[in-house]
Amino acid sequence: MIGGWGTPDEMTIDSPKSNVPFVPFMAVKEYEYIRDLINTEKFETVLEWGAGSSTIWFPNNTTIKSWLAIEHNEKYIEYLKDKVSDKVELSLRTTHHSYLDVISRRFDLILIDGLYRDECLERAFDLLNPRGIILLHDAGRKAYHDFYDKYPHEIVFEGEGWLGDGWDHRGITAFRTNL
């Protein structure tokens, strides 16, 4: 299967547990890091701001038991609903307020790869289990640098690449309360 960005060698993902033809739209090293993190830490609950191919792929190929995906685009929710595992709850949130207003429960992993990323990151710390991790995808953007001074973190991957209509500052930064 092919997914993400980069050269064909960087984009080849094997999916032995699933015949789902959708893979996360990220570099293979990023996908592998997230997959291995979920399985090594035995994470079971995930909150994802910004549904996508990861919403289809990760729940089928990891230890995940519950995945809440928040998405603002109704047509995209319709597209995904027949493709996701029964472990996934798709939640349409069409307003700024509703997008950020997540029920008061805790998550092992929070993936931020959608709208209002800086506000999602602020909110995520209130929703994180004590041993949990927040992953900010496309974290190389300058808008997020203030968070690096504010929260314990590690830059997992850095990188830049051409994405559709312009230059994108890729990478993943992991935030946790216990770094």
For the chain, domain boundaries: 43-175
Is a pLDDT exceeding 60 seen at residue 48?
Answer: yes
pLDDT band at 1 (very low <50, low <70, confident <90, very high): very low
CATH among 3.40.50.150, 3.40.50.300, 3.20.20.450, 3.40.50.620 for 43-175: 3.40.50.150
Under a CB-based contact definition with an 8 Å cutoff, are residues 131 and 179 in contact?
A: no
- Assess whether pLDDT exceeds 70 at residue 60: yes
Q: φ, ψ for residue 156 (rounded to 5)?
A: -80, -50
Type of residue numbered 54: S
Percent of the chain at pLDDT > 90 equals: 42
Angle at 62 (CA atoms; ends 21, 89), nearest 5 degrees: 75
Q: Which amino acid is at 104?
A: S
> In terms of pLDDT, which residue wins out, 26 or 80?
80
Higher pLDDT, 14 or 82: 82
Amino acid in position 154 = E
> Strand pairing partners for 159?
170
pLDDT tens string 120-141: 988 998 999 998 999 987 776 6
Q: What is the pLDDT of residue 22?
A: 56
- Distance, in Å, from the CA atom of 50 to the CA atom of 18, rounded to the nearest integer, reads 22
- Between residues 21 and 56, the one the model is more confident about: 56
Residues 79 and 77: their CA atoms lie apart, in Å, by: 5
Beta strands in 11-127 (DSSP E): 45-49, 66-71, 88-92, 107-112
Is 13:28 a contact under the CB 8 Å cutoff? yes
Residue 178 reports pLDDT greater than 50? yes
Per-residue pLDDT at 168: 52
Tell me whether strands 153-163 and 166-175 are parallel, antiparallel or unpaired: antiparallel
Q: What is the pTM of this model?
A: 0.80
More confident residue, 21 or 132: 132
Q: Please compute the mean of the pLDDT values over residues 33-51 and round it to a whole number.
A: 94
For the segment 107-111, the average pLDDT, to the nearest whole number, is: 95
